[in-house]
Amino acid sequence: MGKIKIAIAGLGGITQVMHLPILSKHRDAEITAICDTEYSKVKNLLRGKDFAKGYKDVDTMLAENADIDAVIIATRTDAHVETAVKCLDAGKHVLVEKPIARNAAETKKIVAAADRNKKLLMVGMNNRFRTDSILQRNFVKGKELGEIFYVKAGWLKQQSSNQKWFTEMEKAGGGVVMDNGIVMLDLGMWMLGFPEVKSVSSVNYRHNTKTVEDSNFTFVKFKNGSCLTIEVSWSFLRSGEFFYCNVFGTHGSATINPLRISKMIDQQVFDITPKNIKQAQAGYKNSFENEINYFIGAIKGTHELISTGREALAVIEVIDAAYKSAKAEKEIIFK
């Protein structure tokens, strides 16, 4: 297989800062087309360049470029379901930026489209592709920490976008939960191996927002006895950004960031953290590079896809329950 021909729908910050620069230098991919409803973005990005064709709508882009292999979708969240289904029905593999959709009902439509067209559907959960997250997951998967019974994860930072739609419930699907909570929930459930959910309890706060939450605290119980705590906020009065994922098992623990691996050996706890690894901020761009490499590699058949649509559906079902719990002020039990 030659270079993978990729189109991009949605030319916001993450596309301009991450996707375009990474793909433009990728040895196994080429950018065939770019698209945005704000055509001024298309014109600005194509000015003085000839690496791709530009479009205002996805329908025209797909119709005029039958050779496209895959589409990266980084549009506004409320456009994800329609855009993804069109691309999948056109026979294209899809990488959709998080969140995959605004709710489980929309997510099921995207997953169904991928299934009926037998195309790859990956969700851009880039925190899985951080060097420290990958190493942490390897220790968990290798049973080095015993049976994992508790994960505590959080992300305290300013909101990722200042665009008006980002804090409008109808367009974004939610606030800090859809911005940061969903990726921490995905990371935590991935560490646990996506066990079946038993119940969800959640609390939302709106200190500086009107229609969406700016702080959230969620507790998830799983049917195998493990549990997960998530805390995310745009409005904590603290300096700087803080991202963490702490995993606790019967024989040890693993925390990020920074990465620390502790293991019980002969009744003593030892630090077995690998040396000379990239930590914290150094891994942000690298996480997007790894994510795109995995997507392209899965298309080429060199390895299995991870961060799948079905995993995203499991996460978004918990998100739906978290919003329901916060509104009803009670625990939501899964059948």
pLDDT tens, 120-142? 999 999 999 998 999 999 999 99
Cα–Cα distance between 276 and 260 in angstroms, integer? 12
Q: Band the pLDDT of 52: cuts 50, 70, 90.
A: confident
What dotted CATH number matches 4-126? Answer: 3.40.50.720
* H-type alpha helices, the chain: 13-14, 20-24, 39-46, 58-64, 80-89, 104-117, 131-141, 169-172, 176, 182-192, 284-300, 309-328
271-298 mean pLDDT: 82
In the chain, domain spans = 4-126, 127-279+309-333
pLDDT at position 277: 65
Topology given in CATH for the domain delimited by 127-279+309-333? Dihydrodipicolinate Reductase; domain 2 (3.30.360)
- Band of residue 281 on the pLDDT scale cut at 50, 70, 90: very low
Copy the structure tokens of residue 233.
């906020």
pLDDT at 278: 56
Q: For residue 279, what pLDDT is reported?
A: 53
pLDDT for the residue 89: 98
- Count the Cβ atoms, other than its own, within 10 Å of residue 262: 17
259 CB neighbour count, 10 Å cutoff = 22
CA distance 331 to 269: 36
